[in-house]
A and B are shown apart, each in its own frame.
Chain A
Amino acid sequence: MPSPIPSPLASRLATLPPVLRHPGVLFGLAVLLVVGFAALAAPFLWTGDPILLRPRLRLKPPSSTAWLGTDAYGRDVWSRVVYGARVSLAIGFSVATAAVLIGLVIGLVAGYLRRLDAVVMRIMDGLMAIPSILLAIAMVTLSGAGIGTVIVAIAIPEIPRVARLVRSVVLSVRSEPYVEAAIGAGTRLPMLLIRHVLPNTIAPLIVQGTYVCASAILTEAILSFLGAGIPTEIPSWGNIMAEGRQAFQIAPWVILFPGLCVAATVLAVNIIGDGLRDALDPRTARRVGALR
Chain B
Amino acid sequence: MTGASASLEPVLSITGLTVPLPRGADRANAIEGLSLSVGPNEIVCVVGESGSGKSVTASAVMGLLPPNLAPSAGQILLQGEDVLKVGPARLRALRGSRMAMVFQEPMTALNPVLKVGDQIAEMLEAHSGRGGREARRRRVLDLLGDVHLPDPPSLAKAYPHQLSGGQRQRVMIAMALANDPALIIADEPTTALDVTTQAQILKLLKELQARRNAGILFITHDFGVVSQIADRVVVMQKGRLVEEGSVDDVLTRPRDPYTRMLIAAVPRAEPPPPRPRSQPSAPILAVRDLTKTYGGRGLFGGGRAVTALDGVSLALQPGETLGIVGESGSGKSTLARCVARFVDPTAGHIRIGGDDIALLPTRELRPYRRRVQMVFQDPYRSLNPRRTVGQSIIEGPMNYGLSKEAALARATRLLDLVHLDASALDRYPHEFSGGQRQRIAIARALAMEPDVLIADEAVSALDVSVQRQVLELLEDIRERLNLSILFITHDLRVAARLCDRLVVMLGGRIVEEGATAALFANPRHAYTQALFAAAPKLRFAQA
Contacts and interface: CB of A to CB of B under 8 A. Distances in A.
Contacts of A4: 430
A120 to B, nearest CB: 13
Main secondary structure of the interface of A (DSSP, over half): helix
Interface string A93-117: 0000000000000000000000000
Contact of B340 (A1, A10, A184, A196): A184
Given A180-B342, A187-B399, A188-B399, A1 B386 contact: no
B111 interface: no
Contact of A181 (B380, B382, B386): B382
Interface in A183-232: 183-188, 195-196, 199
A186 B51 CA distance: 36
B374 A184 contact: yes
A177 B366 contact: no
A222 to B, nearest CB: 37
A236 to B, nearest CB: 41
B381 A176 contact: yes
Identify the interface centre among A5, A10, A185, A187: most chain B CB within 10 Å of its CB: A185
Interface in B418-443: 428-430, 434, 441
Contact of B386 (A8, A182, A183, A185): A8
Interface in B441-486: 441, 444, 448
A7 interface: yes
Contacts of B369: 183-186
Contact of B441 (A181, A182, A196): A181
B495 interface: no
A8 B385 CA distance: 8
Contact of B376 (A8, A10, A181, A195): A181
A187 B378 contact: no
B374 A180 contact: yes
B414 interface: no
Chain B contact-residue range equals 20 to 34
B399 A5 contact: no
B201 to A, nearest CB: 26
Nearest to B456: A177
A177 B376 contact: yes
Nearest to B444: A181
Main secondary structure of the interface of B (DSSP, over half): loop
Contacts of B396: 184-187
B380 A2 contact: yes
B399 A177 contact: no
A180 B396 CA distance: 12
B122 interface: no
Contact of B430 (A5, A178, A188, A199): A5
Interface string B111-149: 000000000000000000000000000000000000000
B370 A186 contact: yes
A118 interface: yes
A131 interface: no
A118 B299 CA distance: 8
B382 A178 contact: yes
B387 interface: yes
Contact of A7 (B299, B381, B386, B399): B386
Contacts of A7: 385-386, 428, 430
Interface string A1-15: 110111110100000
B180 interface: no
B384 interface: yes
B294 interface: no
A4 B427 CA distance: 14
Identify the interface centre among A4, A8, A177: most chain B CB within 10 Å of its CB: A177
Contacts of A187: 395-396, 399
A183 B373 CA distance: 10
A10 B340 CA distance: 34
Contacts of B387: 195
Nearest to A202: B386
29 contacts: A1-B51, A5-B429, A5-B430, A6-B385, A6-B430, A7-B386, A7-B430, A176-B381, A177-B376, A177-B381, A177-B382, A178-B383, A178-B392, A180-B342, A180-B376, A181-B383, A181-B392, A181-B444, A182-B384, A184-B369, A184-B374, A185-B369, A185-B396, A186-B366, A186-B370, A186-B396, A187-B396, A196-B384, A199-B386
Please list the 4 inter-chain residue pairs (A to B) with the smallest Cβ-Cβ separation, ordered nearest first: A185-B396, A5-B385, A7-B428, A177-B382
Given A184-B340, A186-B369, 16 more contacts: A4-B430, A5-B429, A6-B430, A8-B386, A177-B382, A180-B340, A180-B342, A181-B376, A181-B444, A182-B395, A184-B342, A185-B448, A186-B400, A187-B399, A188-B399, A199-B386
Interface of A: 1-2, 4-8, 10, 118, 176-178, 180-188, 195-196, 199
